[in-house]
Structure 1
Amino acid sequence: MFCKGRSLTVCSDGPFTLYRPVGVPLTALYCGCFGGCISLLALHFYYRYIAVCKPDKLYHFEGKRIIYTLLPCYIIFAVWTGNVYFLMPPTEEKERIYYDVLMENYNVDSYKVSFISMVYKSPATETEPEHWNLMQLLPFFICCSIMDLCLSTIVWCGLKALTQMKNCGAHMSKKTKELNRQLFLTLGMQTLLPLITMYLPVGSFIFLPFLGIELGANANNTGAFIGLYPALDPLIAILLIKDFRNYVFCRKKTLMKVSTTTGNTEKSASTFHVS
């Protein structure tokens, strides 16, 4: 990944790097996977919303109905992939713009390597002044629209679920209320995590070049941030939910016993064993 001026590019790195008929479609699929990931993440939060706020609607996630529930994710994946493949293909102008930086940073020839690119504003040449590319702004707005749709779904469903959990706290026992507090905190953190590890890096990669902020080779950090999400998401639940935390760290759990003869309360400890 690289950003230069008011443009960005994603290059292929694999056995088909120099064979564009295969390398470019694979690069488009790679980019489309991000659209698929954020749509699945939005669906995940929608499921949480249904489970917490409207449990009678959970049948949408049962049996063959799950296929129709997943349909929006398939559509978003296809739209993002097609958007990249058809509207961001390598052109002579893009090859010329990225020849020096790709050769200098990655030792690849932009005239041969498989890559996709968005050039929001073409730099001035001997024959043409600097100008905006309206056709290159179209894929930009498509990507932003998909991200906005998925992000709005995540935030709305997350807030609704959090509000419902908070409102139910008044009618719970002390033990259930404590578990609800842990789940509340976990859901809140899991709502914030994708914003930091997925939306912010990719949004910066797409939007900052539009503003003329050049990221250069630092754009490669985008992929690293995206990879953090699946690793950190389960850790939040493990660390914030007490029973999970005790089991993972093999901590002793204190149990209360009441003597049937004396009526005194006794404490005994049981240890979590990992089999």
Structure 2
Amino acid sequence: LRMSAFTNAVEWIELINTISGLFLNLLLLYAIRRFSKPHLGAYKQLLTTFTTVDIFLVALHVLVHPRVMRAGYIHATVTDTIFDDVRITALYIGLQSVPFSLLAIHFLYRYWSVCKPLRMPLFSNKLFVLFLASLIAGAVVSWYFLCLLCSKGHDLTIAREVVASEYAVMYGKRIQNAWVLLDNWRDGKIDVTLFVVTCLMDVITVSSIVLTLSFAILTFYHISKSDKLSIQAHTLQRKLLIALCAQASIPTLFVYIPYLICINIPFLKIPGNFFHDTAAPVMTCFPLWDAVIIILLFSDFRRGLAGMMRKL
């Protein structure tokens, strides 16, 4: 079986994004360690953590080679590994929540730095950091079990055969068991369990976006109204918040919105496979452009790297 020209193009885009994303995030990690100024404080550690997670997600994408597909009204996500195991696919999906959990923490950090500065030492407190880590892990586990719930109590033999055959036609390889399936309209009737799962996925996704947006709006408001900040501090806080908002827009545009579209259009019986066929390469844009945005918006990193390049 031969892949189509469209599929080949998608594979090449994905490869370019992956290599570029890995290189730029490694470069950014170096810039954070080499060129960060003291005024960043604990925010340096948050940036380091986020960039490290981006590198991990790029490597994970290469290892599991995920694909998002649609066959009829079936939404399907699969990973291509030697194990052919749905648990790997569920874990991959769960790990995509980590950047958004970190973004919420970033926005909380910015909000407290402006409105509740006395709470800032908490970010250096091991118990508080452990609490934040447990929230991140909880989000991963929630997504993991929601994905596994999709296949509980259902006979997915026919649906699995349909998507496995479709995958074989598109990619020239057959994967039988590693599918996370949302077969909402099996036999023409809505599946109540999958309806609830779809709604929960939507609620978690939208809630993450709303939470970060709320922190951003509140922080902008308090920066504009604060009379306790010096002109220099006001400018710095505003610049850091704008950079964080730009950074937050990248995973929202390249991960959450595409995934919202992909899990909902089959459920709503909206025709078209374009979003599913392009979902995997679009998601690889996230680590790439995330690094680009941070390098461009943080002048210390931009100037430091530019100076380093001029010396080569």
TM-score > 0.5 by shorter chain: yes
Secondary structure at 2:180 match in 1: strand
On the 8 A contact 1:11/1:115 being kept in 2, the answer is: yes
Please state if 1:83 is matched with 2:150: no
Counterpart in the other structure of 2:127: 64
d(CA) in 1 for partners of 2:203, 2:143: 11
Q: Which has the larger radius of gyration?
A: 1
Alignment of 1:2-151 (within 5 A): 2-17=69-84, 23-61=85-123, 62-88=125-151, 91-109=156-174, 112-122=176-186, 124=187, 130-151=188-209
On the 8 A contact 2:295/2:301 being kept in 1, the answer is: yes
Residue 151 of structure 1: CA displacement?
1.3
Amino acid at match of 1:232: W
Secondary structure at 1:132 match in 2: coil
Residue 160 of structure 1: CA displacement?
1.5
Aligned length: 242
On the 8 A contact 1:88/1:117 being kept in 2, the answer is: yes
Alignment of 1:185-196 (within 5 A): 185-196=242-253
Residue 117 of structure 1: CA displacement?
0.4
TM-score after normalising by structure 1: 0.75
d(CA) in 2 for partners of 1:177, 1:169: 9
Counterpart in the other structure of 2:239: 182
Counterpart in the other structure of 2:62: none
User: How far does the alpha carbon of each residue in 1:154-210 deviate from its partner, in whole angstroms, 9 at most, with x for none?
Assistant: 11111112222333489644x555545533432332233332122211111112222
d(CA) in 2 for partners of 1:177, 1:43: 21
d(CA) in 1 for partners of 2:174, 2:248: 41
Instruction: Identify the match of residue 293 of structure 2 among 236, 253, 259.
Output: 236
Runs of 5+ consecutive residues of structure 2 not aligned to the other structure: 1-67
Residue 216 of structure 1: CA displacement?
3.0
Change (3 A) 1:12 1:232: closer
User: How far does the alpha carbon of each residue in 1:124-150 deviate from its partner, in whole angstroms, 9 at most, with x for none?
Assistant: 5xxxxx211112112211211211221
d(CA) in 1 for partners of 2:72, 2:269: 6
Secondary structure at 2:83 match in 1: coil
Secondary structure at 1:211 match in 2: coil
More helix by share: 2
Which has the higher relative contact order, 1 or 2, with Cα contacts under 8 A spaced 6 or more apart? 2
Counterpart in the other structure of 2:40: none
d(CA) in 2 for partners of 1:209, 1:11: 16
Runs of 5+ consecutive residues of structure 1 not aligned to the other structure: 18-22, 125-129, 252-271
Instruction: Identify the match of residue 224 of structure 1 among 281, 285, 292.
Output: 281
d(CA) in 1 for partners of 2:109, 2:228: 24
Secondary structure at 2:307 match in 1: coil
Secondary structure at 1:9 match in 2: strand
Change (3 A) 1:240 1:119: same
Amino acid at match of 2:143: W
Amino acid at match of 1:208: I
On the 8 A contact 1:59/1:65 being kept in 2, the answer is: no
RMSD: 2.9
